[in-house]
Structures are given as structure tokens and as C-alpha cells.
Amino acid sequence: MKRTLRAVLGAALLMLSTSACGLTVNAALPFEVQPGSIRPVPELQGVDVTVGSKDFTEQIVLGYIAELALEAAGANAVDLTNINGSNSARYALVDGQIDLQWEYTGTGWLSYLGYDKPLPDETQQYEAVREADLERNGIVWLPYSEVNNTYAFATTEAFAEQHNLRTTTDMANYLKQNTQDAVFCVETEFASRPDGMPGVRKMYDFPVTTTKTFGTGAIYSAIAGGTCNFGEVFTTDGRIAGLNLRVLEDDKKFFPQYNASVTVRKEFLDRYPQIADVMAPVAAALNNQEIIELNKQVDVDGRDPVDVAREWMIDKGFIS
């Protein structure tokens, strides 16, 4: 079975309906996808499934992983990854311009459904957003993965080992005795948001001697280079592995849970319920350690996201 990840004719037709909304179907990249543990599904043979994603590395890699899984099952994956902005990607799903995409439970709960407070337990957060989004918007959340792209503080592995730091509580206790080391690098917004530095300081009760503000990408290198001892990071960023940083566990669960889950419109999943079975083992195989490495290969090593996704799917035996 020789396929392309993107259906050229379908892409051309879809572009006519999506270009007005700023969406662009990506150029075709010929790719052979052979079944592995994901076997052909008769009900999905030749079915066009348009896969979207947001415009950052992790989302694009996850989008390609979904496309490869669907192709192995016999569907015709149309690539609409790399949509500019969370709201645009969400609208594309709700509006039917894409059929499925990976989404984060915390984003769904706080940004799309408009709740003020997250639920600290990841299972409870998933179940709450799954129920509410289905009822309000007809969006189905398939079983979530262990990928949890939330906020945390990080330091270098060397500093963490030297001072026996594994959790945010460890950090707080250390800084109370060593206030000269309470130097933090954070984003400007994080420095003042209630669910950022003010809130987390209140919960963990740690001192801050100096706060330095950076863009998101610069914080990782600032930590690694000694500009600050601690910095705000996203827990699945590939630069964590690339720069040998240690993420400190948010042991009091202050930050929202952002577990990744495939989201699909109910009417589409009702027509093709087999999609849930295809994606279930893929979601189960993903966790923070896996996605950090995949993100690193793109952001640090400079590899193409589709090659990284394909290699992972082969290594896991999902495709051949």
C-alpha cells in the first residue's frame, strides 16, 4: 500500500474552503506508510481525515503521529497542521475544517470553556472537560495521554544534584536557607499573573531575590548558562533534554493540568468510531519523557517533525 500523507486533490479542494480563514493545506510529501501493530481497518479504507494542529513543535509532531496512525489504518490523512494560534485551530475543529487534533485538557477547560479554576487532579480535569465540551460543543475527547505540557520550575542537573532538589517544595525549603540563590528567570506575563509567580509563591512560600524577564525560548539557555538558578519552563520542551535541565515536580499541584488528548467532532466520530481504537494505543504510548525527546530532535537537533514522528511510530511498532 503506497500512500501520501497528504491527499493532493483533496488538499486542493480543501484549500478553496479554508483559505478565507487563513488556513493552508501543506504541500504533499510522498510517504509510504505500511501497517505495523496498527492494522488496516475496512471501515476507514480511503476515508479522508483532515488532521490539524497548532503552530508549535510538539503539536506538529503529534499531528504527524496521528496522520501516520490513520494512514496505517487505511484512511487518507489530509495534513492541516501548523495552524496559527490556539483559537484558530479550535475554530477549525468546531467549524468542520479539520476532523481531529490533539488538544490539552487545561486549555480546553480554561480557554475554550471559560472556567476560572482548574482541577488539580489530571483525571478529574480530563473527565470534567470531556463532559462539558461534549455537552456544549459536540467535541469528543478521546482518552488522554500522560503527556502533560504544563508550567514548572527548572534548574540545571548539576545544581539540583548539588542541593538535592527534586520538587518545588525542595526548592522552597532550600531558598529559605539560601536567599542569595533565589534568582528566577520568567516570562513577563508569568511574573504578574495570579496563576503565575504571585500564586505559586503564595502556595509554596519561597523568597525571590531577583526576577529577570525573558522571552519563552531564552529562559532555557539562561538557566543553563547560569543567568538564573531557576526558571519557568514548559514541562515537555525539548530544550530540557538538550540543555540537561531538571524539571522540579509541582508536588502541591499549583499549575493546571495540560494532558494531551485527541479531540474529534462527535458527528465525525459517530460516522467513523474506529478512529478511537486506532488512536488509543498511540496515546497510551506517549508520556513526557517520550515527547521531550521528540521535541528535542526537532528544536535542538534540527530534524524535520515528520521524520521524527515517523521514526517514533516505527520504533514503537505502530507502522512499518
Domain assignment present for 113? yes
Domain assignment present for 171? yes
- In angstroms, the CA 100 to CA 67 distance is 10
Question: What is the mean pLDDT of the segment spanning 3-18?
Answer: 40
Domain assignment present for 284? yes
pLDDT for residue 215: 85
Confidence of residue 244 (pLDDT cuts 50, 70, 90): very high
Reference 186, options 200, 169, 172, 174; nearest CA is 200
241 and 270: one domain? no
Domain assignment present for 59? yes
44 and 132: one domain? yes
206 and 185: one domain? yes
14 and 80: one domain? yes
Confidence of residue 18 (pLDDT cuts 50, 70, 90): very low
Question: What is the mean pLDDT of the segment spanning 151-170?
Answer: 98
Strand partners, 300: none
> What would the pLDDT profile of 32-45 be if each residue is shown by its tens digit?
899 999 999 999 99
Domain assignment present for 320? no
Q: How high is the mean pLDDT of the chain?
A: 91
Report the CATH number at residue 15. Answer: 3.40.190.10
The pTM score is: 0.88
135 and 269: one domain? yes
Question: What is the mean pLDDT of the segment spanning 292-299?
Answer: 96
- In angstroms, the CA 318 to CA 320 distance is 7
Last residue of a domain, one of 228, 248, 268: 248
140 and 193: one domain? no
Residue 201, burial from CB neighbour count under 10 angstroms (0-12, 13-18, 19+): middle
pLDDT over 70, % of the chain:
91
Q: How many domains does the chain have?
A: 2
- In angstroms, the CA 313 to CA 318 distance is 5
89 and 173: one domain? no
271 and 124: one domain? yes
Last residue of a domain, one of 248, 281, 296: 248
Domain assignment present for 100? yes
- In angstroms, the CA 116 to CA 207 distance is 27
- In angstroms, the CA 14 to CA 78 distance is 9
Walk across the sheet containing 183-186 and list its strands.
Answer: 210-213, 183-186, 230-234, 151-156, 245-248
104 and 203: one domain? no
Residues 6+ apart with CB under 8 A from 18: 24, 25, 80, 92, 97
- 98, 52 in Cβ contact below 8 A? yes
Domain assignment present for 253? no
Per the structure, the complete domain to which residue 308 belongs is given by: 3-148+258-315
- In angstroms, the CA 204 to CA 122 distance is 20
144 and 21: one domain? yes
93 and 142: one domain? yes
- In angstroms, the CA 272 to CA 97 distance is 17
C-alpha cell at 77: 490523512
> DSSP for 228-253?
-SEEEEETT-THHHHTTEEEEB-TT-
Domain assignment present for 71? yes
- In angstroms, the CA 96 to CA 100 distance is 9
Instruction: Please provide residue 52's backbone torsions phi and psi, each rounded to the nearest 5 degrees.
Output: -110, 170
pLDDT for residue 216: 75
Last residue of a domain, one of 248, 273, 289: 248
36 and 79: one domain? yes
